[in-house]
């Protein structure tokens, strides 16, 4: 970590006196979602992040250089660090060893002003104890004072008191835990999910080495990540499948008191902005004061340069969204007494951070522009082009509004609306083709289900600006039907349906249409996905008929199971199995029964768990560069099954 920003180092001795107790541990197993967000896959992985964040806190304090994360056979997790080791002496407030207090008492830790840490990602002090409470068993070993101290727990209860089990020549903490299947929907870890998070942590802590290993099978994947360039390398990595507008990354940093801020930006030739804001190494999806300060300063610096060079005249200034077109920005702040909104800590609320980031970006970006006029001009030209495109988009919006106002028909001609007006009770099926649209219209429940057929090839919005999107005759009906606007004007409160269901054939063309629509939603209506309003309908792949009995299967495995069930009384009985080629081939009754009836249908909710990965995949698959896409297809072709029939 650079000396300039390494102001998080702690000189105070880290001992039991700095562990402060706030309250007990009773509620965690009863309401785990309050502490880890959910008991789904994301909550399961959150357990690992909590333990790793404790190790990261040691790195921020200047004592940890390497962290190791291992997925063990049986889905247990081991996290090891070479920090100071959790204190093992007696904690004055409880009269118990500090190690025990940290793992058995909620809101106990060195992050509440005891002097153990200057900055921390957690701050609530719930990490270790919550992981312990939600694990079948947990073992912690502390290397400290030349001794190895060990303690064991089960579902938050002590099963082995702290004892010395050996001697050691180094310091650090090793935690191994087994997630509780009674709590979590699944206890199977995904290597890629953990790898993504660990890579992020390595980028944010320049010089920190993180190893992740999958030991569930022999020869499983393993990766060690260490980035001396820190967030500079992060920005370049995010742009690796895009065409950068300038070769170098603009890096800015500053310190005020105990707070530090780093910003790295690099523009690409795309049209979407991509900003990742971190506070104490934790991604804040809700942004916050650091992101607000950055946006204001960026707009101010670009306009100031434009006015100074004469490119911008009078009041003809570029707006914030113009300045951010095609930007990749990483913002990382570290501060004491960080204030986050809610237990999920999605948004940073400390007002002074806005001032710090604003002044750092304003001063250093202005200097950078003066010293690099070619890059500055390229960024300014892009902002001014975006400004003109935004004006064109506004004209397209106004034109549509005028037409609908004069024509008296605000909704698309092909939309078959529902009778219910309460958005929370309604759903819209966006259907591939007129024939499927006709079957869906006849088969639907018109009280709450609307149908919008799409026809022809849809625009790939990854390669288009907003003005082209608004004016597109294939997308415009979708924008109008949903009623919430597009881009910066998108307003979730105006959304006419709280279930937006993409219903396409189970073939290559259907997958392509789904991908094009999802690209559109991701780039221009992202809150739709973030709030869980977008679904994919799952029409059955197979129809099985024996006599008067008809059943449907959604996979090859289900087809085989149902087929054997239908032959249970007579192994030689004939079961006719047909594969559904397309939605248009189903009659209205079949479509309702299999794909649209809320009682029987299968819908897959489209979720956005990793914004970095989502941006990467959309750029890779739908962007201009052919070579990365070719490489991706070659690497993943062996995993494809049932591509088309």
| Residues acting as catalytic residues | 432, 505, 507, 509
Indicate the angle between helix axes 191-204 and 231-238, nearest 10 degrees. 130
Torsion sign, CA atoms 72, 614, 41, 541? negative
3-state SS of 377-415 is HHHHHHHHHHHHHHHHHHHHHHHHHHHHHHHCCCCCCCC
Of residues 581, 540, 534, the one with CA closest to residue 435: 581
Q: How far is the C-alpha of 131 from the C-alpha of 153, rounded, in Å?
A: 11
Of residues 243, 40, 200, 34, the one with CA closest to residue 610: 200
Tokens of 9: 């180092």
First to last CA, the chain: 54
**Tokens 């009754």 correspond to what residue?**
589
Q: How many CB atoms lie within 10 A of CB 405?
A: 9
Q: How far is the C-alpha of 286 from the C-alpha of 302, rounded, in Å?
A: 25
Q: How far is the C-alpha of 331 from the C-alpha of 234, rounded, in Å?
A: 11
Q: How far is the C-alpha of 623 from the C-alpha of 249, rounded, in Å?
A: 21
3-state SS of 609-628 is CCHHHHHHHHHHHHCCCHHH
Q: How far is the C-alpha of 335 from the C-alpha of 7, rounded, in Å?
A: 10
Of residues 107, 91, 104, the one with CA closest to residue 133: 104
* Residues in the chain, overall count: 645
Torsion angles phi and psi, residue 69, rounded to 5: -125, 125
How far are the Cα atoms of 65, 429, 437, 440, 506 from residue 502, in angstroms, in the given order? 47, 6, 12, 12, 12
Indicate the angle between helix axes 611-622 and 508-524, nearest 10 degrees. 130
Q: How far is the C-alpha of 45 from the C-alpha of 134, rounded, in Å?
A: 12
Burial (CB < 10 A; 0-12, 13-18, 19+), residue 519, is buried
Tokens of 112: 């509440």
Alpha helices in 408-507 (DSSP H): 434-443, 466-470, 476-482
Q: Answer whether 48's CB lies under 8 Å from 41's CB.
A: no
Q: Answer whether 311's CB lies under 8 Å from 380's CB.
A: yes
Alpha helices in 145-272 (DSSP H): 191-204, 231-238
Of residues 124, 185, 184, 176, the one with CA closest to residue 154: 176
């Amino acid at each position: 970590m650079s000396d300039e920003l390494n102001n998080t180092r702690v000189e105070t001795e880290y001992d039991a006196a700095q562990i402060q107790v706030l309250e007990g541990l009773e509620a965690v197993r009863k309401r785990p979602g309050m502490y880890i967000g959910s008991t789904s896959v994301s909550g399961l992985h959150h357990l690992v992040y909590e333990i790793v964040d404790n190790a990261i806190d040691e790195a921020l304090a200047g004592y940890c250089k390497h962290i190791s994360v291992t997925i063990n056979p049986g889905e247990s997790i081991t996290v090891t660090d070479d920090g100071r080791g959790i204190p093992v002496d007696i904690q004055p407030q409880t009269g118990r060893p500090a190690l025990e207090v940290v793992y058995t008492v909620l809101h106990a830790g060195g992050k509440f002003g005891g002097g153990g840490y200057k900055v921390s990602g957690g701050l609530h002090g719930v990490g270790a104890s919550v992981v312990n409470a939600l694990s079948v068993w947990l073992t912690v070993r502390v290397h400290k004072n030349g001794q190895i101290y060990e303690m064991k727990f089960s579902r938050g209860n002590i099963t082995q008191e702290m004892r010395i089990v050996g001697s050691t020549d180094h310091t650090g903490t090793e935690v191994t835990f087994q997630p509780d299947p009674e709590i979590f929907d699944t206890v199977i870890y995904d290597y890629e999910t953990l790898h993504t998070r660990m890579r992020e942590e390595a980028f944010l802590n320049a010089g920190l080495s993180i190893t992740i290993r999958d030991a569930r099978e022999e020869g499983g994947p393993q990766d060690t990540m260490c980035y001396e360039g820190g967030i500079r390398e992060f920005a370049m990595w995010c742009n690796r499948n895009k065409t950068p507008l300038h070769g170098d990354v603009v890096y800015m940093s500053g310190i005020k008191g105990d707070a530090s801020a780093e910003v790295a930006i690099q523009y690409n030739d795309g049209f979407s902005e991509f900003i990742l804001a971190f506070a104490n190494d934790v991604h804040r999806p809700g942004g916050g004061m650091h992101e607000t300060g950055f946006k204001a300063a960026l707009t101010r610096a670009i306009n100031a340069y434009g006015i100074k060079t004469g490119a911008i005249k009078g009041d003809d200034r570029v707006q914030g969204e113009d300045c951010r077109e095609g930007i990749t920005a990483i913002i990382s702040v570290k501060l004491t007494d960080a204030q986050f909104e809610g237990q999920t800590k999605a948004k940073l609320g400390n007002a002074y951070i806005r001032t710090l980031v604003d002044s750092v970006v304003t001063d250093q970006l202005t200097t950078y522009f003066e010293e690099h006029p070619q890059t500055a001009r390229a960024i300014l030209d892009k902002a001014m082009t975006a400004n003109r495109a935004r004006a064109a988009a506004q004209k397209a919006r106004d034109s549509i509004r005028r037409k609908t106002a004069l024509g008296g028909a605000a909704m698309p001609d092909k939309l078959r609306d529902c009778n219910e007006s309460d958005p929370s009770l309604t759903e819209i099926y966006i259907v591939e083709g007129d024939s499927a649209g006709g079957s869906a219209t006849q088969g639907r429940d018109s009280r709450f289900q609307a149908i919008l057929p799409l026809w022809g090839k849809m625009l790939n919005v990854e390669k288009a600006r907003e003005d082209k999107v608004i004016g597109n005759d294939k997308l415009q009906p979708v924008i109008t039907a949903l009623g919430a606007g597009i881009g910066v004007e998108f307003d979730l409160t105006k959304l006419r349906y709280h279930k937006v269901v993409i219903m396409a054939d189970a073939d290559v063309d259907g997958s392509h249409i789904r991908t094009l629509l999802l690209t559109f939603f991701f780039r221009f209506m992202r809150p739709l996905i973030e709030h869980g309003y977008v679904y994919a309908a799952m029409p059955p792949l197979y129809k099985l008929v024996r006599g008067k009995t008809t059943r449907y299967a959604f996979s090859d495995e289900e087809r085989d199971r149902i087929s054997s069930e239908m032959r249970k009384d007579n192994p030689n009985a004939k079961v006719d199995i047909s594969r559904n080629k397309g939605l248009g081939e189903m009659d209205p009754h079949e479509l309702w029964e299999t794909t649209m009836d809320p009682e029987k249908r299968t819908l897959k909710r489209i979720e956005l768990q990793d914004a970095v990965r989502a941006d990467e995949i959309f750029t890779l698959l739908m962007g201009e560069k052919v070579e990365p896409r070719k490489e991706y297809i070659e690497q993943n072709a062996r995993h494809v099954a049932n591509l088309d029939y």
